[in-house]
Amino acid sequence: MPITAVASRYANALADVVTSRSSVVRPENALAELRSFEAALRSSAELYNALVTPAVPANRKRAVVAKIGGLLKISQVARNFLFVLVDHRRIGDFSNILQSLEVILDERLGFARAEVSAARELTEPQRAALNVELERISGKRIRAKYGVDPALIGGVVARIGSTVYDGSVRGQLNSMAHKLEGGL
């Protein structure tokens, strides 16, 4: 789902708060708390509908958010952010806002995002070794999302931003074919 300008604005505002020196909550904790609220929101269609419908008054929505926030032990910073979303009728954009927040926090904290596809599921030692190599290549700390691509014969393909690192068998065969066709 695409990240909108609205989602980016709200995410940037929260990122400003949680990354400031005076913040009482760590960015990772705020994100985890909001993810737990998102899980609760997804698990109940009634809850979601109650929070997005304009027929329910904002003060009732705030009371629901406060109650759930208390049950989930969500920090006051995260609760206040949820109240802002309720007041501005943006709970419907919540998933996009969280996705944008995750990207913004990674950028601000010096992480690069990598999407890694492998022919089969990688073991933890393989993932750790691959992370070390991607960090060496990119010069940044890496947050990788791993997936399996059955179309790969073997090896891995990693994408960091717009750069693709093709360590797959197919990529190596294509490279050799290109060299042979071009006379090296």
pLDDT digits over 128-169, tens only? 999 999 999 888 899 899 999 988 888 888 888 888 888 777
Instruction: Name residue, tokens 């797959």.
Output: 168
DSSP 92: G
How distant is the alpha carbon of residue 21 from its chain centre? Answer: 23
Amino acid sitting at position 122: L
Q: Both 63 and 11 in a single domain? A: yes
How distant is the alpha carbon of residue 18 from its chain centre? Answer: 16
Q: Both 86 and 15 in a single domain? A: yes
pLDDT digits over 100-132, tens only? 999 899 888 888 888 999 988 999 999 999 999
Radius of gyration for the chain, computed over Cα atoms and rounded to the nearest angstrom: 21
Chain-wide mean pLDDT for the chain?
89
pLDDT digits over 55-78, tens only? 999 999 999 999 999 999 999 999
Range of the domain at 101: 5-107
Q: How many domains in the chain?
A: 2
